[in-house]
Amino acid sequence: MKIFVTGGAGYIGSHTLVRLLSAGHEICVFDNFSNSSPEALARVKQLTNRDFALVEGDIRDASALTRALVEFGADAAVHFAGLKAVGESSEKPLLYYENNVSGSAHLLAAMDAAGCRRIVFSSSATVYGEAQCLPFDEDHPIAPTNPYGRTKAMVEGMIRDWSAATPDASAVLLRYFNPVGAHESGRIGEDPQGIPNNLMPYIAQVAIGRRERLSIFGDDYDTRDGTGERDYIHVVDLADAHLAALDYTGRAAGCEAINVGTGKGITVKELVAAYERACGHSIAYEITPRRPGDVAISFAATGKARELLGWEAALNVDAMCASSWLWQSTNAEGYGETA
Ligand code: NAD
Ligand code: UFG
């Protein structure tokens, strides 16, 4: 199948490319490298021994996007491109609406121009907001608490409307929980710019000595050990979920939102302990006040993914930490330094 991959050079995109190429698909990546490096794509080629097309471009540029998609003749799109920093989205909301919402509208219009009717979209568990009940199932009310989450909810609605208006269209909205880890080779991984916002890359940078200690944001939540509990999902499992979702778009028309998680919560302290096992030394941390906007517990109901996609997570927290550590310890500066 010919698959057009926006944001393919990013963290989740690069891991998904490995799986798509290994499965024999023909790929065109469309990325502006605003939060990624061409080096990630070079490594994907090395890992798979497969080549693919690359168009350096911005999804806000409707004509460049349409040209690329029509020329490639895509059968399906996987749409990763977007900005994802929750804090930044409150400071620069219009940038997020323009990039994530307008960019996605341009993609759907470009798909119409190319006669492409299948899409898998990177949504987020953040669309649920505060938990009314746990685990989060796909029918949980949508009430995001920040501009980033609102852009994801808006794009979900837009894709739903597009699919209803487009004969034979098929869309899967994958609501990722907390993606972590790296490819088992350690050649590709998560390479955040500046100070990491998320827990796992922060722990990894403390483990390698780039940062002195982790701040644990609160130990007075109503959880097993008082620290926040999340559903961490191995990025390689997540990549496989995209293949299963693409497959599904070939079998069923319409639009489905589907959670991608393990269904199990892990606390901050439990993740730190697992990382210590992986790297073989202790991770320094201090307890600091809660981070505004954080919820105590988030984890996924996984039945719909199993039922519709035949997919479930296979890799555990030790595999997540071991792969993260292999990536971090062999690429201390991420893609900035070739290992
Ligand atoms: P990432 O930043 O590593 O990858 C995003 C890619 O999109 C980058 O290569 C970036 O250069 C590209 N991009 C951004 N804006 C673009 C534009 N206007 N035009 C072209 N390319 C553009 O992020 P990721 O972690 O791989 O996330 C991929 C998607 O999954 C995002 O849409 C994100 O919102 C969503 N998501 C991520 C997480 C997470 O925790 N990583 C959780 C839920 C959802
Ligand atoms: N945490 C710390 N210290 C840190 C970073 C995080 O203690 O330095 C804690 C948080 O308080 C939380 C847990 O670690 O309890 C996980 O925090 P992350 O920032 O890694 O992840 P979140 O669950 O807050 O949010 C992430 C993404 C969102 C996405 C959401 C659901 O940042 O974009 O997962 O997919 F929407």
* Digit-coded pLDDT (tens) for 197-251: 999 999 999 999 999 999 999 999 999 999 999 999 999 999 999 999 999 999 9
If DSSP codes are grouped into helix, strand and coil, which group holds residue 91?
helix
Is 208 a domain residue? yes
Looking at the structure, do residues 52 and 74 belong to the same domain, yes or no?
Answer: yes
CB of 153 within 6 A of ligand 2: the answer is no
For ligand 1, mutation pick of 80, 193, 199 (most atoms within 8 Å of CB): 80
Looking at the structure, do residues 18 and 123 belong to the same domain, yes or no?
Answer: yes
**Mean pLDDT throughout 20-47?**
98
State the ligand closest to the CA atom of 230.
2
What is the pTM (predicted TM-score) of this model? 0.98
The verdict on whether 148 is a catalytic residue reads yes
304-326 pLDDT, tens digit per residue, is 999 999 999 999 999 999 999 99
Q: β-strands 266-267, 229-230: how paired? A: antiparallel
Q: How confident is the model at residue 337 (pLDDT cuts 50, 70, 90)?
A: low
Q: Is the pLDDT of residue 176 over 50?
A: yes
Report the C-alpha gap between 177 and 127 in whole angstroms.
10
Looking at the structure, do residues 45 and 130 belong to the same domain, yes or no?
Answer: yes
Q: Are 55 and 81 in contact (CB under 8 A)?
A: no
Q: How far apart are the first and last CA of the chain?
A: 33
| DSSP letter, residue 291 | P
Is 30 a domain residue? yes
Whole-angstrom CA distances from 47 to 37, 181, 183 are 16, 17, 10
**Mean pLDDT throughout 6-29?**
98
Looking at the structure, do residues 156 and 223 belong to the same domain, yes or no?
Answer: no
In the structure encoding, which two tokens stand for residue 87, read together?
Answer: 């804090």
Is 36 a domain residue? yes
Looking at the structure, do residues 252 and 327 belong to the same domain, yes or no?
Answer: no
Closest CA to 58 of 99, 5, 17, 116: 99
What does 276-290 look like in DSSP terms, one character per residue?
Answer: HHHHSS---EEEEPP
Is 189 a domain residue? no
Looking at the structure, do residues 219 and 256 belong to the same domain, yes or no?
Answer: no
**Distance (Å) from CA 232 to ligand 2 centroid:** 10
**Distance (Å) from CA 158 to ligand 2 centroid:** 27
**Mean pLDDT throughout 48-59?**
98
> Cβ contacts of residue 188 below 8 Å, gap of 6+?
14, 15, 18, 40, 43, 44, 47, 182, 327
State the ligand closest to the CA atom of 82.
1
- CATH code for the domain in which residue 286 is found: 3.90.25.10
Looking at the structure, do residues 37 and 176 belong to the same domain, yes or no?
Answer: yes
CB of 217 within 6 A of ligand 2: the answer is yes
| DSSP letter, residue 297 | B
Looking at the structure, do residues 96 and 126 belong to the same domain, yes or no?
Answer: yes
CB of 146 within 6 A of ligand 2: the answer is no
CB of 150 within 6 A of ligand 2: the answer is no
Look up the domain containing 326 and give its range. 199-230+264-299+315-336
Looking at the structure, do residues 156 and 226 belong to the same domain, yes or no?
Answer: no
Looking at the structure, do residues 106 and 213 belong to the same domain, yes or no?
Answer: no
Q: How confident is the model at residue 338 (pLDDT cuts 50, 70, 90)?
A: very low
CB of 84 within 6 A of ligand 2: the answer is yes
Q: Are 31 and 10 in contact (CB under 8 A)?
A: yes
Looking at the structure, do residues 226 and 83 belong to the same domain, yes or no?
Answer: no
Is 306 a domain residue? no
Is 304 a domain residue? no
Report the C-alpha gap between 19 and 1 in whole angstroms.
13
**Distance (Å) from CA 228 to ligand 2 centroid:** 9
Residue identifier of the C-alpha nearest atom 29 of ligand 2: 126
**Mean pLDDT throughout 19-42?**
98
Domain count of the fold of the chain: 2
Q: How confident is the model at residue 14 (pLDDT cuts 50, 70, 90)?
A: very high
Query: Does residue 96 come out as left (phi exceeding 0), alpha (psi in the -120 to 50 range) or beta?
Result: alpha
Report the C-alpha gap between 235 and 241 in whole angstroms.
10
Within 10 angstroms of residue 183's Cβ, the number of other Cβ atoms is 21
**Distance (Å) from CA 147 to ligand 1 centroid:** 15
Q: What is the predicted pLDDT for the residue at 293?
A: 84
Q: Above pLDDT 70, what percent of the chain?
A: 99
For ligand 2, mutation pick of 11, 90, 100, 178 (most atoms within 8 Å of CB): 178
**Mean pLDDT throughout 286-296?**
93
Looking at the structure, do residues 169 and 217 belong to the same domain, yes or no?
Answer: no
Q: How confident is the model at residue 336 (pLDDT cuts 50, 70, 90)?
A: confident
CB of 197 within 6 A of ligand 2: the answer is yes
Atom of ligand 2 nearest to the CA of 291: 11
**What are the CB-based long-range contacts (under 8 Å, 24+) for 142-150?**
145/293, 146/86, 146/89, 146/90, 146/293, 147/89, 147/90, 147/93, 147/96, 147/97, 148/83, 148/84, 148/85, 148/86, 148/89, 148/96, 148/100, 148/124, 149/86, 149/124
115-161 pLDDT, tens digit per residue, is 999 999 999 999 999 899 999 999 999 999 999 999 999 999 999 99
Is 20 a domain residue? yes
Atom of ligand 1 nearest to the CA of 34: 11
- CATH code for the domain in which residue 164 is found: 3.40.50.720
255 φ/ψ angles, rounded to the nearest 5 degrees: -140, 125
C-alpha neighbours within 13 Å on the C-beta side of residue 94:
0
Average pLDDT, the chain: 97
Residue identifier of the C-alpha nearest atom 15 of ligand 2: 228
**Distance (Å) from CA 118 to ligand 2 centroid:** 31
Is 191 a domain residue? no
12 φ/ψ angles, rounded to the nearest 5 degrees: -75, -35
CB of 82 within 6 A of ligand 1: the answer is yes
